[in-house]
Amino acid sequence: MAGNLTPEPEPARLRRTARPTRLAALAGLSVLALALSGCDGAKVGEAGAGASGGGSTGTCGSFKLAVNPWVGYEANAAVIAYVAAEDLGCEVTKKDLKEEVAWQGFGTGEVDAIVENWGHQDLKKKYIEQQQTAVAAGETGNKGVIGWYVPPWLAQKYPDITQWQNLNKYAQQLRTSESGDKGQLLDGDPSFVTNDGALVKNLNLDYKVVYSGSEAALIQAFRQAEAKKTPVIGYFYEPQWLFSELKLVKVELPEYKAGCDDDPEKVACDYPVYALDKIVSKKFAESDSPAYRLVKNFTWSNEDQNLVAKYIAQDKMSPQDAAKKWVEGNRGKVDAWLGKKG
């Protein structure tokens, strides 16, 4: 279902490929023979949607921005792309790519920046240390939390379900046709950062990990469970705009300690708190272009991201309109990224 995903041009100045659904990536780059599976993804090497910066003239040039498939990342990318085009006159190209596939684009020159990286020490080692096609560009200011969550009604009715030691007691209530005789632990897409399979095994939990396929499917499952008072436990994360609507309750897993997740097969601890960061191609960093300096200086809060993500996901605004609304209300922050003095 990948095919040619280049869309018809939007009337807005920023154009992009289809909205991401975070489906799993496989091998098939047009140059490196790495392919991406899924309905709404794209390939490194495939023509993406471009956006001419139009407005102001300048020396920014082209700016190729990867968009990973979850709405929080999309919020980061929307604001950065909008400022790059409107304030710096950059020619912005946004392309929907899975996380690992986006890193491959650094070496081909097809990706300049990833603007919300969740850990990925393995990819940093490969592309920053070994291949030396990428460099770190600082933190986004967002703090990422991954874990298992239940809807508010379930935590209120069964308070002890939020302790992992008690989960087996509720396994039968959480069975589904997909999980068979075990409780269902609902995950998103297999490409998400997850230790859940190992956690279930190593904590001796009577559960089976079932993949919903996307962030949107996870959100729908939690919303439906709360509305209909049906039980569900699933993988989720913050920052995420849904928390402004639905106060999901996090399950306490064994405390995270440095090194407890070094061996993916032996993980038996909670996820760490991630200081989300930005990764750029080495050539992009060395160019010291206005777009690079914008990416490097970009920083905001979980609340900022959640607001823009809400505009996109809940209020159904286009990413560009959502970015414009936020930028107009936060000009001081944007000017700081641009190095302008108040």
Say if CB 181 and CB 208 are below 8 A apart.
no
CATH code assigned at 317: 3.40.190.10
Same domain, residue pair 130 and 63: yes
Distance (Å, whole) CA 218 – CA 236: 8
Say if residue 37's pLDDT is above 80: no
- Please indicate, yes or no, if residue 156 is contained in any of the structural domains: yes
Q: Average pLDDT, stretch 69-89?
A: 96
- Please indicate, yes or no, if residue 231 is contained in any of the structural domains: yes
Same domain, residue pair 149 and 136: no
* Low-confidence winner among 191-195, 198-202, 249-253 (lowest mean pLDDT): 191-195
- For residue 292, give the H/E element and its range: helix 290-297
The per-residue pLDDT for 342 is 58
Residues 319, 324, 330, 334, CA torsion sign: positive
Q: Which residues pair with 249 in a beta bridge?
A: 150
Same domain, residue pair 315 and 231: no
Distance (Å, whole) CA 234 – CA 89: 43
Residue with the bigger pLDDT between 182 and 54: it is 182
Provide the strand spans (E) within the chain. Answer: 49-51, 62-67, 91-96, 113-117, 134-150, 183-187, 207-211, 233-238, 249-250, 273-281
**What counts of helices (H) and strands (E) characterise the chain?**
11, 10
Same domain, residue pair 62 and 167: no
Going by the DSSP 8-state scheme, the letter that residue 168 receives in this structure is: G
- Please indicate, yes or no, if residue 31 is contained in any of the structural domains: no
- Please indicate, yes or no, if residue 24 is contained in any of the structural domains: no
Here the tokens at position 17 are 């490929």
Same domain, residue pair 151 and 252: yes
Say if residue 8's pLDDT is above 60: no
Q: Average pLDDT, stretch 187-204?
A: 92
Say if residue 20's pLDDT is above 80: no
- Please indicate, yes or no, if residue 3 is contained in any of the structural domains: no
Q: Which residues pair with 91 in a beta bridge?
A: 62
CATH code assigned at 189: 3.40.190.100
Same domain, residue pair 253 and 214: yes
Say if residue 162's pLDDT is above 90: yes
Which residue range(s) make up the domain with 294?
49-142+276-337
Count how many domains the chain has: 2
Same domain, residue pair 214 and 97: no
Same domain, residue pair 107 and 152: no
Same domain, residue pair 149 and 251: yes
Between β-strands 91-96 and 62-67, what pairing exists: parallel, antiparallel or unpaired?
A: parallel
- Please indicate, yes or no, if residue 228 is contained in any of the structural domains: yes
- Of 112, 115, 19, the closest CA to residue 71 belongs to 19
Same domain, residue pair 99 and 156: no
Q: How confident is the model at residue 235 (pLDDT cuts 50, 70, 90)?
A: very high
Going by the DSSP 8-state scheme, the letter that residue 160 receives in this structure is: G
pTM (two decimals):
0.73
Same domain, residue pair 68 and 138: yes
Say if residue 41's pLDDT is above 70: no
- Please indicate, yes or no, if residue 201 is contained in any of the structural domains: yes
Say if residue 6's pLDDT is above 90: no
Say if residue 3's pLDDT is above 90: no
The per-residue pLDDT for 92 is 97
Q: Average pLDDT, stretch 280-290?
A: 97
Q: How confident is the model at residue 315 (pLDDT cuts 50, 70, 90)?
A: very high
Say if CB 44 and CB 34 are below 8 A apart.
yes
- Please indicate, yes or no, if residue 28 is contained in any of the structural domains: no
* Low-confidence winner among 9-13, 44-48, 176-180, 197-201 (lowest mean pLDDT): 9-13
Q: Average pLDDT, stretch 181-209?
A: 95
